[in-house]
Amino acid sequence: MANIIEIKGLTKTYHNKKALNNVTLTIEKGKVVGILGPNGSGKTTLIKILAGILRPTGGEVFIDGNRPGVTTKSIISYLPDRNFLYDWMNIQDAINFFKDFYADFDENRAYELLDFMKLDKNMKVDSLSKGMMEKLNLSLVLSRNAKVYILDEPIAGVDPVARDQILDAIINNYNEESTMIITTHLVRDMENIFDEVIFLKEGEVYLLGNAEALREERNMKIDDLYKEIFGA
């Protein structure tokens, strides 16, 4: 199958601190990929480089054959790890904002997702709880017909009911034509939705592989493997 993402020898340094060190990996089209690691392991840095927000210090990144830039931004739908909407907006404003910004935004899908998430389009952004905010942001991001979805910590800090709704929305919106890259340290809640997992440790790829093959080979859940790799 074709690779949608190719990363070779990627390095990112902030001043003299190495956030990513010589990361090499490929991601196939149509896969759900988990990038796993504790805080500070380089997950968000890696994702921001893919999303075209940060520039690499060294190495090469190709997304659908192109270096990160205007072209790749148009095919990537990115959920940052914090709210990206303005406080003055209501949900309808947020939808209009996305519609203006992204040619591939499917307004009908957005209304369906909001309905599924039990969010009303007249709600004000600054009145939303953390879980509702996460559900709104995710609904908007999943309503684009993108080739690549990048979700940074989509279930961090939300209650179990919201978490289930978010997982359902991710599973229901998955299709073989697109690729999903999801970072998380909440491995137990998410491991069943990954095809592939990449363990990042101190800015380097510690281990990567097919999730089912790793379970078979190591005779343990990905969550236990995570604890083994990152435990004390």
Partner 1 sequence: MLFNENLPIYIQIMNLIKKQIVKGELRGGDKLPSVRDLSTELKVNPNTIQRSYHELEREGLVYTQRGMGTFVTEDEEIIKDLKQKMASNLVNSFIADMKSLGFSLEDILSIINKKIKEG
Which residues contact partner 1 (rule: CB under 8 A)?
A: 32, 164, 167-168, 171-172, 174, 192-195, 211-213, 215-216, 219-221, 224
As measured in angstroms, the least distance from the Cβ of 167 to partner 1 is: 5
For residue 163, what are the contacts with CB-CB under 8 A and spacing of at least 6? 155, 189
Nearer to partner 1, 8 or 188 (CB): 188
Nearer to partner 1, 115 or 120 (CB): 115
Nearer to partner 1, 19 or 153 (CB): 153
As measured in angstroms, the least distance from the Cβ of 50 to partner 1 is: 21
Residue with tokens 């229901």: 172
The C-alpha torsion from 36 through 37 and 41 to 47, rounded to 10°, is 20
Alpha helices in 9-106 (DSSP H): 43-50, 70-75, 91-101
As measured in angstroms, the least distance from the Cβ of 161 to partner 1 is: 13
Nearer to partner 1, 53 or 229 (CB): 229
Half-sphere exposure of 43 (CA within 13 A, CB side): 24
Nearer to partner 1, 19 or 162 (CB): 162
As measured in angstroms, the least distance from the Cβ of 164 to partner 1 is: 7
As measured in angstroms, the least distance from the Cβ of 110 to partner 1 is: 19
The C-alpha torsion from 165 through 170 and 172 to 176, rounded to 10°, is -170
The C-alpha torsion from 127 through 133 and 135 to 139, rounded to 10°, is 100
Q: Are strands 196-201 and 32-36 parallel, antiparallel or unpaired?
A: parallel
